[in-house]
Structure 1
């Protein structure tokens, strides 16, 4: 059972949130008092709707208290303040170790509230089915995992916005830990880099993904692209292109099918050491994508030097663009820059039809996100590819 607490000095708004949650089968209580809110908080609380601007104790103060109490509930921030203030509060709360589900800028509609509630439910399912998110694993465990190949690949479909067709998939690695279940990349990629295991891990993922992409394409009835993220450390290795070319030949994969993603932050840190690798990949037809575009610090230099074929807009901008003028402008300008430089633009983190419609109106080519499908195992993707677009959207909405 989902147990929700709402704190807002506007009684009517608190009741609006409570009624919306109850309509979705959730248990919800609302209060206008910080004292009553803290009295009602307990380990069974799963989600909190928190107003930032309140007379008795403001939301910033309450976030600090929640951190001190080691609150594990998801939190939705609400405010009528400038969205940049809400964003600052969100980033600060995450630095405190709190779990922020999202933000709602007042006034908001029932549809926006429902998006937050569904996002919370999806995150809850992910914790249940993938309970090892944000755990600490040992170096010996990771070395053993690479030796024993304890990794699995999940794939997230990429959709051409104009036609609704599936045009590719992104490969995402998970560690199938014998004790903890599925462990997410954030919890082991950094360690793999420190231990010098990242190349071995990268090739495990690539080999398995190449083996799968052919059958995905056959099921879809068209050649699908395969996007895969390689560590900036691997992309400094002059041997990388030849090893990739040999592997593609082994599996009969055309170079243009492969999209190597590298994060913008990784480019900032390792750009000069990777330019020769980028050039050789592009000369053979392999595509390059700048991932999480807009989150780094040297965008113009990267765009001038890297022969990228694709820009990938970070999900944080996509999720904020409907209600935030700054995010909307940044998304729009990123699309324009990408097109003027001859690049395809991909938006990740698409969760609503409204977001998809806005991206389509700005001629963004590709979208991926929970609106279509979460990352799923290969066999589940094969079944998903056999559905028509309407059934896919219905299943995504149901989840």
Structure 2
């Protein structure tokens, strides 16, 4: 009986799921690098290292794209192409290799002869811009729509991950910490942001989600220490979880007993804090004895409500990104930022500018006197291994005066 093969849509941006790509290359570090780049472009990825794996991967993962990166001689790559043809592969194939390579040209001709849909070859060396251009038909102009994802299902099936975004010390221009941000690696939708799955405070699964965040952050902290160096981590927890029975005991039991552990930060939304300031202050007072500081996250228009307090036991004030994005050219935003900085000086807290996406905004928040900055200008949220490579193996002083 012949294998039934579904027709491939002409434009992946209209699909109900993100495109799937398989990276075929004998070198593990090359596969890891390409998978990272493809995931940043919106693909879900899989990989194989040898031609005999092609049939299994093709049938199990149903990729829309095979990215074939065998350098040097093309014998093994030719076997991959033959296997794809034998499996009736209906997706597209992108060959990656040295420019002006005879073997690469021969592989392109072989793929076409076998009836495979061959994309124009991608010559090495290349960057994200060149890869994106090669895969323009796969990368949607707008993100594909995603339905809400059930947090309980994600917890049960192990889809949750903690990604990290660097925080930059404005004086030394070095990485001084990182915020852990929850992501779902969904088998069909790819990487899903919290907007699609974070439950409401009253949801019975919120406690389990919070415990996952704490447990994963502490496990990752141990990994960072063993691989390179200790780093101050910040995680987001709701005030309702911290005030629930047994939460502080749970939190204390998960903290590292390592001598390099100097503490961590728990970020609580500013609106939650001003709604129940007494409870927030009580929790902050208790957490200080465990080397945990509270950050007032997304501090925005509610900041005047903190003015009349004689003492606030918070470690930092983190200004909402809507006052940071574009602040370099907006005097009203600068005024709000300066008032919060004045409040911080009175309270003895440090300040974080969240949402520094451009060089102009970075220079503006540095000139205003923020202690720490965070945003895409310094780095996007990254999965743990990639964050470790970028943070500990590269110089963090990448922003010039």
- The residue aligned with 1:330 is 336
For residues 195-240 of structure 1, the C-alpha deviation after alignment (integer angstroms, 9 at most, x for no partner) is 311110111111111111233345554x311111102221221422
Per-residue displacement from partner, 1:295-330 (whole Å, max 9, x unpaired)? 437632695564111000111111131111110111
Partners of 1:390 and 1:228 lie apart in 2 by 22
The one-character-per-residue Cα deviations of 1:80-105 (angstroms, maximum 9, x if unpaired) are xxxxxxxxxxxxxxxxxxxxxxxxxx
State the partner residue of 1:195: 203
Matched, 1:184 2:196: no
Which residue number in structure 1 is paired with residue 358 of structure 2? 352
Q: Map 1:368-383 onto structure 2 (within 5 A).
A: 368-383=374-389
Give per-residue Cα distances to partners, 1:51-96, cap 9 Å, x unaligned: xxxxxxxxxxxxxxxxxxxxxxxxxxxxxxxxxxxxxxxxxxxxxx
How far does residue 265 in structure 1 lie from its aligned partner after superposition?
1.3
The residue matched to 1:311 in structure 2 has which SS?
A: strand
The offset of 1:252, in angstroms, is 3.1
User: Which residue in 2 is equivalent to 1:291?
Assistant: 297
Which deviates more, 266-275 or 234-243? 266-275
SS of residue paired to 1:389? coil
- Contact 1:157–1:170, Cα closer than 8 Å, also in 2: yes
Residue 148 of structure 2 is matched in structure 1 by 137
SS of equivalent residue, structure 2 residue 314: coil
TM-score (norm: length of structure 2) = 0.59
Query: What corresponds to 2:243 in structure 1?
Result: 236
Pick from 238, 250, 255 the counterpart of residue 248 of structure 1: 255
Is residue 311–residue 347 contact of structure 2 (8 Å, CA) maintained in 1? Answer: no
Paired residue secondary structure (1:224): coil
Residue 236 of structure 2 contacts residue 268 of structure 2 at CA under 8 Å; is this kept in 1?
yes
The answer as to whether partners of 1:153 and 1:172 remain within 8 angstroms in 2 is yes
Question: Retained in 1: the 8 A contact 2:315–2:349?
Answer: yes
Unpaired segments ≥5 residues, structure 2: 1-128
Shift in alpha-carbon separation, 1:218–1:166, aligned structure 2, 3 A? farther
Kindly state the Cα deviation for residue 365 of structure 1 after the two structures are TM-superposed. 0.9
Q: Distance in 2 between matches of 1:132 and 1:244?
A: 36
Gap runs ≥5 in structure 1: 1-117, 395-399
CA contact (8 A) 1:132 1:181 kept: no
Q: State yes or no: 1:311 paired with 2:317.
A: yes
Q: Are residues 371 and 253 of structure 1, via their aligned partners in 2, closer, same or farther at CA, if it must alter by over 3 Å?
A: farther
Compared CA separation, residues 176 and 378, structure 1 to 2 (3 A): same
Over 3 Å counting, the alpha-carbon distance change for 1:291 and 1:390 in structure 2 is: closer
Q: Is the 8 A contact 1:132 1:184 kept in 2?
A: no
TM-score under structure 1 length normalisation: 0.60
Deviation, structure 1 residue 391: 8.1
Q: Give the distance between the partners of 1:310 and 1:247, measured in 2 at CA.
A: 23
Structure (1 or 2) with the larger CA radius of gyration: 2
Q: Establish whether residue 216 from structure 1 lines up as the match of residue 227 from structure 2.
A: no
Aligned residues: 267
User: Paired residue for 2:368?
Assistant: 362
Find the partner of 1:157 among 163, 166, 189. Answer: 166
CA RMSD of aligned residues (A): 3.3
